[in-house]
Amino acid sequence: MIALKLKIRYWGARLLFFGFFALLIAIIFFFKISELNIIGLKITNPLYAYTADLEWWLYLLMYFIFVFFINSLIFIVFTIFIRNYKIRSKKRRKKYERIFTDKIMELIYNNSEKSSSIITIEDKISELNALAQKSYTKIILLNILRKIHAQAKDEVRMKAAEILKKMKLDNFIDIYLHSPYFRDKIFAMKIISEFELGMSDIFEFEAGGHPEYIIKLTKKRNYVLRSEAFVSLIKLAIHDDLSFLLDRELHVSIWDMNIVLKIFKDIKNNNINYTQLIESDSPRVAALGVLLANKHNKTDLKEIIFKKIGSKDGLLNFEAYAAFISMANNETDYNFFIEKFSKEDFIIKKAIVKSFANCPSITLSKAFMIYVIEEESLPLKVEAMKILVQLDINRVNEYKNSENIDILKARNQIVDFNLN
Amino acid sequence: MIILNNINFFFNSFFLIYACALFGLYIFIAIYSSLELRFYMNKNKNVDYKMMLSFERLPSVSVIAPAYNEEKTIIENIRCLLSIYYPKLEVIIVNDGSTDNSLPKIIEHYDLVKVDIAVNDRLATAPIRNIYKSRNSAFANLIVIDKENGGKGDSLNAGINVSNSRLFLAVDVDCIIEPYGVLRMVKPFIEEEGGKVVIASGGVVRIANSCEIKDGKVVKVNYPKSFWAKFQVLEYFRAFALGRMAWSRVNGLLIISGAFGMFDKERVIKAGGYDVHNVGEDLEMVVRLRRYMHEVEKVKYKVSFIPDPLCWTEVPSSFNNLARQRNRWTRGAIDTIFKHRKLFLNPKYGMMGLISYTYWVFFEWLAPLIEFAGLVYFGCLLIIGQVDPYIFLVLTLFVYLFSVMFSLFAIFFETYTFFKYKGLHYLRKVIWFALIEMFTFHPINMLFSLKGNFDFFFRKNKKGWGKMNRTAFDANKE
């Protein structure tokens, strides 16, 4: 029923839109003829006496005046209608958000405290189900559950998933996944991937077929839909080797990189083929590979990563340096780094110096900062001094009597900013 | 008589064709914008912007706000800028040689001290007197530059020189920015739609006159009380919701509001920074930046546009201030058009040369001039008794109803999408102002534009900004 409603709404709106335009065009012809005969039904043009003798351009002007007038009225009526609808729906949404949040929190809290009986929990679920009869209430409920599941940990997270399971909303989610509106598909994919519907232990018996359909969505022309489908598949551990990124047609944006990074932030045991990613032809995919290898501390990939230093692609180059900063641990590495660094342009240099704030080796960091302060331009000296002040304040003080004016300037700036 | 008839025929045809082209384009742009806006709304319906705060690879942003004699509002304005949510943000206030107490007030309120900061002067600016930072760690990301007067563009250039970030957001200091405004503006830069490099993004500016402001945030949106500001609400609806979205979609956006626009700093520096001699520096900057991309970098790029209302600003509420603003806009546009005349119908510059620039010439710069010529022509016909009252009425009704319909569509679309104004009182008023606009605000606006043309071509003061009186935000004023 919901599926049918969605389809009617989707196609109905389009039909109405085109019907309206068709009507506007039909009117042009109608008012120029005396009578219209549609399957035996005669419609007389009441304005024929007036329009028959009008010159064509004047007739067109009259026609447009009529259209503009009608449209103006329509827009006024629609504005009032939409205004009232939005006010009503906002109130309604707020009301249900409050009710659902209270009920869910009560359910999770009582459940985790194990203070209520199974019957009470079932009753509360029934209560929730009774409240979430309409589509919009179900959407509100699902969004609340999704947010709780995404933000909470351990038991509370589990409880949120169990509530969803007990509410038996799989069919509803499935309908939204197959909805003609892409916003509904995105909504459904977010729920499916968050709760790993059809994949996790809790949901393995329900909602089969989601991944297959989501895979189809990765081929869509709509880039938003495609991107969301990939994220869902990664979350569902279907594309968690990230091999799909090697597809030459696919552009990986910084946004995508952040999303992937967020998903894999804490998952060190995964199926990612780092080497394949790092050696990809696409600099963006290679940068992501380096970034992930760095995050997951894959020191065995040091050699391949170092080869990417000096890459023409700014981001890949930077990520390779950042990985080096985390992985380098001997003098050879350091010398290699200094040699490459001195050839870089200002922006990359600045980003590298900044990223040394996260370097695990204090000795390496200190040596590098001193090198930058003594050898590089003023803005870089300032950046290096900022980090050095955290590592060795005495060393910064030693620059007080430096004969190099730029070093003095950088030191004064840092002292002014950080110590006063 | 034959000659007169021929002249009549020529002028009648010219004005009719021009008007039809203009109306046709308006309708096309409006429909295209609406569809694009719907796509944008659907696309971002489930986006959690707060999630972006946890992204590891976000570009750093400097908010650069030039200030000149803003003592009445400056403290509140800076507080608003400091309350923006963004993990890598610095706020740079550029005191452009104010002659009032702006600077002492800021120093006192934000506990500022002079610092010996290293300035990377890649863009030439008027001399910087001092740079200040706060001793209070709560304002650690605030930098105040005190420099000699050089205009808005010059102040922005000084801010760019001091900026440490990859992107910068140029704002008017009196703007109220929505807390997640910067996150939304940054999104296109990291989203890289279609693999294109985003060089700038513009946001929707809304009118803050009469709105209730608390702690640097708009807490209640009110329809302005000022007669002139009421018209500008309508004007902003049309310009932002029904215009720029379409231009952005076809990658032909030429203007990003000077009150709220984000740019790739390095590219702006490479393009030469803001033109300090142009009073329409916002338009000129975008045009030059785009030219730089076509002529130097030659990579696929995009100037993005965010339709969400992210920035609230005070618009002129008095006739004189409005006149000065429109005059300046006109002079800025003409200056830019002449400076970049190479673009005119030039396919080398793609959509910008063939469509956007040409549109600006014919329908932004020349429209008021042609309209005025039309009125003069009509006056002549009236004098020699060549006006058919019936045709005149039909034509007037045609133009009037088109303008009303277009405005009503803009109002409808605002309600349908962002719904910032809610009261019935507002609705009644705004519809009423849409009905009277053509006979009140529009002709006056045309005269301002004519004056701008006159000043640009025949007067020496083609670069002047004119004085704009500021009032502190207060819902009860006006």
Confidence of residue A118 (pLDDT cuts 50, 70, 90): low
Q: Is B9 on the interface with A (CB under 8 A)?
A: no
CA distance B242 to B236: 9
| Extents of the domains making up chain B | 2-31+350-458, 32-321
In chain A, the percentage of residues whose pLDDT exceeds 70 is 92
Q: Which two tokens mark A318?
A: 């930077």
Amino acid B109: pLDDT: 95
**Contacts of residue B56 in chain A, CB cutoff 8 Å?**
258, 261-262
Are B58 and A258 within 8 A, CB to CB? yes
B405: closest CA of chain A, how far (Å): 5
Amino acid B218: pLDDT: 87
**What residues 169-208 of chain B have any CB closer than 8 A to a CB of chain A?**
187, 189-195
| Closest chain B residue to the Cα of A226, Cα to Cα | B43
- Report the range of poorest mean pLDDT among A54-63, A174-183, A342-351, B221-230: A342-351
CA B398 distance to own-chain centroid: 30
- What separation in angstroms does the CA of B468 have from each of B60, B150, B245, B471? 32, 16, 29, 10
- Residue A49 predicted with pLDDT over 90: no
Which one has a higher pLDDT value, B105 or B45?
A: B105
Mean pLDDT confidence for A195-199: 72
In chain B, the percentage of residues whose pLDDT exceeds 90 is 66
Considering just the CA atoms, what is the radius of gyration of chain A in Å?
A: 32
Mean residue pLDDT across chain B: 90
In chain A, the percentage of residues whose pLDDT exceeds 90 is 17
Q: Which of B118, B192, B401 sits opposite A253 (nearest CB)?
A: B192
Confidence of residue A117 (pLDDT cuts 50, 70, 90): low
Dihedrals φ, ψ of A271, to 5°?
A: -100, 15
Q: Which amino acid does the sequence have at B302? A: K
CB proximity list for A45: less than 8 A, separation 6 or greater: A30, A31, A33, A34, A35, A36, A51
B115: closest CA of chain A, how far (Å): 6
**What residues 44-63 of chain B have any CB closer than 8 A to a CB of chain A?**
45-46, 51-52, 54-58
A1-43 residue pLDDT tens: 777 888 888 888 889 989 988 988 888 888 888 888 888 888 8
In chain B, the percentage of residues whose pLDDT exceeds 70 is 96
B157-173 residue pLDDT tens: 999 999 989 999 999 99
**What residues 332-361 of chain B have any CB closer than 8 A to a CB of chain A?**
none
Amino acid A207: pLDDT: 47
B195-245 residue pLDDT tens: 889 999 999 999 999 999 887 788 899 999 999 999 999 999 998 878 888
Confidence of residue B478 (pLDDT cuts 50, 70, 90): very low
Q: Which of A62, A379, A409 sits opposite B116 (nearest CB)?
A: A409
Amino acid B439: pLDDT: 94
Sign of CA dihedral B414, B415, B418, B424: positive
- Residue B288 predicted with pLDDT over 90: yes
Q: Is B427 on the interface with A (CB under 8 A)?
A: yes
- Residue B289 predicted with pLDDT over 50: yes
B38-48 residue pLDDT tens: 888 888 887 87
Q: Which of A78, A190, A406 sits opposite B412 (nearest CB)?
A: A78
Amino acid B327: pLDDT: 94
Determine contact, residues B75/B111, Cβ cutoff 8 Å: no
Looking at this predicted complex, what is its ipTM?
0.88
**Contacts of residue B189 in chain A, CB cutoff 8 Å?**
254
- Residue B438 predicted with pLDDT over 90: yes
Confidence of residue B476 (pLDDT cuts 50, 70, 90): very low
| Extents of the domains making up chain A | 262-324, 328-420
Amino acid B461: pLDDT: 61
Tell me which range, A120-124, A125-129, A177-181, A415-419, is most confidently predicted by mean pLDDT. A177-181
Surface-to-core class of residue A18, CB atoms within 10 Å of its CB (0-12 exposed, 13-18 middle, 19+ buried): exposed
- Residue B328 predicted with pLDDT over 90: yes
- Residue B51 predicted with pLDDT over 70: yes
Fold of the B32-321 domain: Spore Coat Polysaccharide Biosynthesis Protein SpsA; Chain A (3.90.550)
Amino acid B240: pLDDT: 82
Amino acid A7: pLDDT: 84
**Contacts of residue B42 in chain A, CB cutoff 8 Å?**
181-183
Mean pLDDT confidence for B409-438: 93
Which one has a higher pLDDT value, A44 or B119?
A: A44
Determine contact, residues A7/A184, Cβ cutoff 8 Å: no
- What separation in angstroms does the CA of A351 have from each of A48, A184, B121, B164, B166? 76, 40, 19, 11, 10
Amino acid B477: pLDDT: 47
Amino acid A10: pLDDT: 85
Amino acid B226: pLDDT: 93
Are B43 and A224 within 8 A, CB to CB? yes
Determine contact, residues B423/B247, Cβ cutoff 8 Å: no
